[in-house]
Chain A
Amino acid sequence: MTSPAWTAVCPYDVLLPERGVAALIDGAQVAVFRTHDGRLYAVDNLDPFSGAPVLSRGIVGSRGDAPTVSSPLHRQVYDLRTGRCLDDPTLALRTHPVRCRGGQVEVRANRISEATTPSRSAG
C-alpha cells in the first residue's frame, strides 16, 4: 500500500496558538493544532467517546509535560503527541503526520488501521 499524500490544509498563520481547526481530507476529519511553542499536531476530529466531530474545538493546554486537548463534550483529555486519552485508557485518537512547508500546514491523513481505534457510542 502506498502511503497517502500530504494535503495542504491552511496557511500556518491561520492557526491561532492553542486553538484547533478541523480539516476535511478525502472525507476524513482531522483536527490540527498549533501549540504555544509553535509545534503542530494532528489527531482525529471524531470524539471516540461521543462519536461527534468536535475535538478541534477543545481547549488546548498541558498536563505535566504533555501537550493536550480536551473534548468539549465530556472533557476527556488527550495527549496530542500520542493520541492517548489520559483520563480513560480505553480511549485513544489516531495521530496523523503534520508539517509546515512554505508557510502551509500539511497533513498526511492515515486512513488505515481504523479497527485499532477503540470507540464507544454515546447511545
Chain B
Amino acid sequence: MSRIVVVGYGMVGHRFAQALRQRDSEGRHEVTVLAEERRAAYDRVRLSSWFEAVPLDLAPPADVTVRLGEPVHEIDRSARRVVTDSGDYGYDRLVLATGSYPFVPPVPGRDLAGCFVYRTIDDLEALAAFAATCRIGVVIGGGLLGLEAAGALRRLGLTTHVVEFAPRLMPLQVDEAGGAMLRRHISELGVNVHTGRCAARMVGRDRVRRVVFEDSGVIETDLVVFAAGVRPRDDLARSADLAVGSRGGIVVDETCRTSDEHIYAIGECAEVGGRVYGLVAPGYAMAEVVADRLAGGDSTFVMGDTSTKLKLLGVDVASFGQTTGPLDVTFTDPATRVYAKLVLSDDAQTLLGGVLVGDAGAYPRLRACLGGPLPAPPLELLAAGGAGGALGDAVLICSCNAVDKQTIVTAIRERGCHDVAAVKACTRAGTTCGSCVPLLKSLLADAGVAMSRALCEHFGHGRRELFDIVRVTGIRTFSQLVAEHGRGRGCDICKPVVASILASNGNGYILDGEQATLQDTNDHFLANIQRDGTYSVVPRIPGGEITPDKLIVIGEVARDFGLYTKITGGQRIDLFGARVEQLPRIWRRLVDAGFESGHAYGKALRTVKSCVGSTWCRYGVQDSVGLAIALELRYRGLRSPHKVKAAVSGCARECAEARGKDFGVIATEQGWNLYVGGNGGFRPRHADLLANDLSTEDLVRTVDRFLMFYVRTADRLQRTAAWIEEMEGGLDYLRSVIIDDCLGIAGELDAAMARHVETYVDEWRATVDDPDRLTRFVSFVNAPDVPDPTITFEVERGQPVPARSGRQPVLLGMPR
C-alpha cells in the first residue's frame, strides 16, 4: 500500500483524487486529502453562480480520506511527512495542489474594512453581507475575475465601477478592438469602466470611503473588491526548499514532479515549462498526468491550452490561441455589437487563434481547429454555430478534460452512447465548462445513428415532433397517425408514446376505443405489473397526509384481499399481489372510501412529498403539507414523457428531499424557492434553483409552465434532469422560456395546464362506475371467474410473497 497525501482540495486536488481512484481498481494507494477550506471541493469556475444559490459542490471521490479545515504548515522532506494542527501525515508521494491566492496591489489602505478579494465562497459570503448596506462598489481589475466581480456587485444592487490599469478590458485575452466592443457591452449595462487608470490608495477612517487614482481622480465608494489576478501559493514549497520559479510557482518537469522526486505539484501552484497556468483545464491535465504516473503510466504534460469562453455580465467572450498574428481576419458588427477575429498563419491555411466578443457560438469548433488547417473559409467559420468543415480525429473537443474527437466518436459508435448525457458520463467531455456541448451534439449528429430522433422503425419522428403533429393536425387516433406519418403497425415503444401524447392533448379516458390497445399493461389495467404477473395498487395520498379512517380502509382492503403491504418512498402505500380480476373489487372499496388513482402505473405525476411544515414543526416557515396537497391535486393525472416526482419542504432543512425531485419547492421566509431537474435513481442529481422567493401564485404558474413545456418537448422516457441537460442554453434558456416568455408560448402553456386541471377525472372511478370498462378485468376470457392457477404465494415475515422455489431468506448473520 502506497500512501498518497494531497495538499489542497480545490478543483485540481479533487480531480487528482478522483483520477487516481479511477486508475487504482486494486486499491494499491491510500489517498488522504488535506484541505484548508472548511468546505468540500467546489466548482470555482462558476464561483459567481453562488449568488444564484447554484450548488457548486463537486461529487466527493469514493475511498478518499478528506480532512477539511486542516491546512498543512510544514513539509518534512527527510521524514516524508507533512504537519497540520492535528498531527502528522506520512507519505510515499506528496501532491501539492495548493492553488493561488488573490493578488492585492500594495497600495495604502488596502486593509481597510470594506476591502475584499474574490476567490472563495467565504470571500463571497463576506462580500454579500457587507454589501447589504452599500450603494457603490469599485472593482480593481478589469480582467476575467474583475468582470466576474463587477457582475456580482451589480447583482447585489450596487452602482459598479471597474478600474483597469491596461488600456482595455481583459487585456490578457482579447485584442484592442475586442476590448473596445466588450467595453460597449458592459457600459451599456450601467457599469462604469475606467481603463488606463491606476488606483493609488484607498482612503477612509474606519472603512474604505474612496479610491484615489495616480492621476488624482477620485471615486467615492462604499466597498472595494481587488480582482487584479492571482499568484501561485508556493510558500509551503519554498520553506521546504523545493525549487521555485523566478516569478513564483513550484518548478515541475513535464511529469509534474518537483525538485524532490517524491513530491509533485499540479494546478495553479505549479510552474511548468517556465509558465504558470491560471485556468482549470491545464490543472486537470496535470492531475491526470500525475494520477497516470502513480498508476504506472508514462504520460506527460504537453498541453498549454489557455482558451477561454465566458459569459461575463451576460456578454459572450471567448479567446483561444494567439490573439494577434501574421494574418488577421476581423469582423465587426456595430449593430449587434459582435466582434470576431481569426488569427491565421502567413499562408492563411492554419488557424493560430482568435477572439470573439458578443457571440461566441463559433467557439467550440474554432477552438477544436486550433493549430490545424482551416476546415472552411473564415467567414463561414464565424457564422453562428460555426457550421461547416469536418474536424480531424485528433482535435481536442473538450479542453477542460482533454478529450479528443476520436475518443468521443468511439464512445458513440462502440460504447453505445446515444445522447449528450451518455457521452458526458462515458468520456467526461462537456462536464466542466460545458462549452463543447454543441460540438458533442454535432458529433452525435454526424454519427447518424445517434441523433436520429426516430422513435422506432414505425416513426421517423421523435416524441417532440409527434407531439407537435398531434397538436397541430388534431389527429386523435394511432391508426391515422401511423398511416399518415409513419409505417407498419407500431410497437411497444411508439404506441405508449402516442398514448401519452393523446392523453396530454386532452383525449379523455385513456382506455376507450383504440387507445386501449396503445397502453402498456400498467396503464391498461391501471395498476403496476409485478414479476409474477400480478399487479400492485397504489391509491393517491396527496402530500402523504391521511386520516386514520382512510388508513384503516387501506388496511382492511389489504387484509381482505390478502395483499402484501409496503410503505413507498413517495409517502403512500403499495398493495401487492392483486390478480386482474380482483382489481375492480379492490378499487370499488377504495373509491367508495374516497380514494382515487395514484397513477403509480403511469408516466405521469406520481407524488408531491412533503415534510410536516409550519403547522407542527417548530422550524417550519411555511405550510408545506398544504402546498404539496394543492400541487399534487393540480397535476394529478398529467401524462408526461416519464414519471414526474415532486416535493415541498417547509424550511431550508429540506426534510422532504425536494432537491432530489423533478420539481422541488423549499419554503423561505419570503415565499418559495423552486428547484427543477432533480432525480434519484441510476444517476442521482440534485435539482437546480430556477426561481427564488416566489409567491404561491407565481410558484404555481411557473410549475405549470415548466411541466407543460416538459410534456411538450422532452424525449420519450427522458426525465426532467436529462431534458434540461440536453437543452441548448440549459437552465438559463428554460428560465427565459417559462419566466421571461422569450418564445411567446407562456400563454399557451398556461391554457394547456388550465385545460388539464379542468378536465381531470379519476380513472379508477370512471372505470368502476362503467360495467363495459370492467369487462377487461378477467384472467381468462373463457373462464372469467377462475383465478389464474399459476399464481401462488408463500408467507414471509407474516405477509404473502410470490412463491418461488429455492428462495433464500436474508439472514444478515443472525442466528436462525
Q: Which chain A residues in 33-61 approach chain B with CB under 8 Å?
A: 35-36, 46-47, 50, 52-54, 57-61
- By a CB distance below 8 angstroms, the chain A residues around B518 are 59
Q: Contact mask B413-430 → A, CB, 8 Å, 1/0?
A: 000000000000000000
On chain B, the residues within 8 Å of A70 by CB distance are 491-492
Q: Which residue of A lies closest to B529 (CB)?
A: A72
Interface size class of B (residues with CB under 8 A): 35 or more
Q: Dominant SS at the B interface?
A: loop
Collect the chain A residues with CB atoms within 8 Å of residue B516's CB: 16, 19
**Of B490, B520, B532, B780, most A-chain CB atoms within 10 Å:** B780
B780 contacts A24, CB within 8 Å? yes
Q: Is B814 an interface residue (CB 8 A)?
A: no
Q: Max chain B CB contacts within 10 Å: which of A21, A32, A61?
A: A61
User: Which of these binds chain A: B66-74, B279-287, B783-791?
Assistant: B783-791
Partner of A59, one of B520, B525, B782, B788: B520
Asked, given contacts A50-B531, A122-B531, whether A67 binds B806 with beta carbons under 8 Å apart, the answer is no
Residue B214 interfacial (CB < 8 Å):
no
Given contacts A58-B521, A61-B458, contact A36 B479 (CB under 8 A): yes
Q: Complex: how many Å from CA A24 to CA B533?
A: 16
Bound CA–CA A21/B496 (angstroms): 19
B490→A61 contact, CB < 8 A: yes
Cβ 8 A contact of B780, one of A16, A22, A47: A22
* Chain B CB within 10 A, most for which of A9, A24, A27: A24
The reply to whether A18 and B489 contact each other, CB–CB distance below 8 Å, is yes
CB A42 to nearest CB in B, in angstroms, measures: 12
Complex Cα spacing A72 to B490, Å: 15
Nearest chain B residue, comparing its CB with the CB of A47: B533
Interface centre among A8, A23, A53, A75 (most CB of B within 10 A): A53
Query: Is the beta-carbon distance between A22 and B779 smaller than 8 angstroms?
Result: yes
Q: For chain B residues 776-809, which have a beta carbon within 8 Å of chain A?
A: 779-783, 786, 788-791, 804, 806
Q: Are B531 and A73 in contact, with the CB atoms below 8 A?
A: yes
Contact call B781/A14, Cβ cutoff below 8 A: yes
Contacting residues of chain A (2-23) with chain B, CB-CB under 8 angstroms = 7-10, 14, 16-19, 21-23
Q: How far is the CA of A22 from the CA of B781 in the complex (A)?
A: 6
Whole-angstrom CA separation of A50 from B779 in the bound complex? 18
Asked, given contacts A10-B782, A53-B788, A62-B490, whether A72 binds B521 with beta carbons under 8 Å apart, the answer is yes
CB<8 Å pairs between A and B, sample of 14: A10-B782, A22-B779, A24-B786, A25-B782, A32-B781, A36-B479, A46-B790, A47-B533, A52-B531, A59-B517, A59-B518, A62-B490, A70-B492, A123-B806
A77 is an interface residue with CB less than 8 A from chain B: yes
Contacts of A57 in B (CB 8 A): 521, 524-525, 529
A119 within 8 A of B: no
**Closest residue to A105 on the B side, CB-wise?**
B781
Q: List the A side residues contacting B781 at CB < 8 Å.
A: 9-10, 14, 21-23, 32
B-side residues, CB < 8 A to A, are: 457-458, 479, 488-492, 494-496, 514, 516-518, 520-522, 524-525, 529, 531-533, 779-783, 786, 788-791, 804, 806
Given contacts A24-B780, A62-B489, A64-B488, 16 further A-B contacts (CB under 8 A): A17-B517, A23-B782, A23-B783, A27-B789, A52-B532, A52-B790, A53-B790, A57-B521, A59-B495, A61-B490, A61-B494, A62-B490, A72-B529, A73-B533, A75-B492, A122-B531
A111 within 8 A of B: no
The count of residues in chain A whose C-beta lies closer than 8 Å to any C-beta of chain B is 42
CA distance A61 to B520 in the complex (A): 12
Indicate whether A68 reaches chain B with its CB closer than 8 angstroms.
yes
Q: Whole-angstrom distance between the alpha carbons of A73 and B531 in the complex?
A: 7
Q: Does chain B have a CB within 8 A of A63?
A: yes
The docked-state distance in angstroms from the alpha carbon of A11 to that of B522 is 25
Q: Does residue A29 face the partner (Cβ distance < 8 Å to B)?
A: yes
Name the CB-closest residue of B to A76: B492
Assess the A73–B529 pair: CB atoms within 8 A: yes
Residues on A with C-beta less than 8 A from B490 are 59, 61-62
**Cα distance, A68 to B489, chains bound together (Å):** 9
- Are B524's CB and A62's CB within 8 A? no
**A17 to B522 alpha-carbon distance, docked (Å):** 19
Residues in A with CB closer than 8 Å to B532 are 52
Cβ contacts under 8 Å, A22 to chain B: 779-781
Instruction: Check A77/B491 contact, CB under 8 A, given A24-B780, A24-B783, A50-B531.
Output: yes
Residues of B with C-beta under 8 A to A72: 520-522, 529
Residues of A within 8 A of B517 (CB): 16-19, 59-60
* Identity of the chain B residue whose Cβ is nearest the Cβ of A17 in the assembled complex: B517
A46 / chain B contacts, CB cutoff of 8 Å: 790
> Closest residue of chain A to B522, judged by CB?
A72
Assess A59 versus B492: contact at CB under 8 Å? Given A10-B781, A36-B479.
yes
Find out whether the CB atom of A61 lies under 8 angstroms from the CB atom of B524: no
CB neighbours (8 Å) of A24 from chain B are 779-780, 782-783, 786
Q: A29: shortest Cβ distance to chain B, in Å?
A: 7
Taking a contact as CB atoms under 8 Å apart, the answer to whether B458 and A8 are in contact is: no
**Chain B residues within an 8 Å CB radius of A67:** 489
Bound together, the chains give a CA A61 to CA B482 distance in angstroms of 11
Instruction: Output the nearest chain A residue to B789 by Cβ-Cβ distance.
Output: A27
- State whether B491 touches A62 (Cβ < 8 A): yes
Q: Which residues of B contact A52 (CB under 8 A)?
A: 531-533, 790
Nearest CB on B from A63, distance (A): 7
Chain A: minimal CB distance from B758 (Å): 30
A32 to B782, CA, bound (A): 11
Q: How far is the CA of A47 from the CA of B491 in the complex (A)?
A: 18
Q: How far is the CB of A39 from chain B (nearest CB, A)?
A: 12
Q: Which of A25, A36, A59, A67 is most buried by chain B, counting CB atoms within 10 A of its CB?
A: A59
Docked Cα-Cα span, A24 to B496, in Å, equals: 28
Chain A residues near B492 (CB-CB < 8 A): 58-59, 61, 70, 75, 77
Most chain A beta-carbon neighbours within 10 Å: one of B489, B522, B786: B489
Q: Is the CB of A61 within 8 A of B488?
A: yes
Q: Which partner residue on chain B sits nearest A60 by CB separation?
A: B517
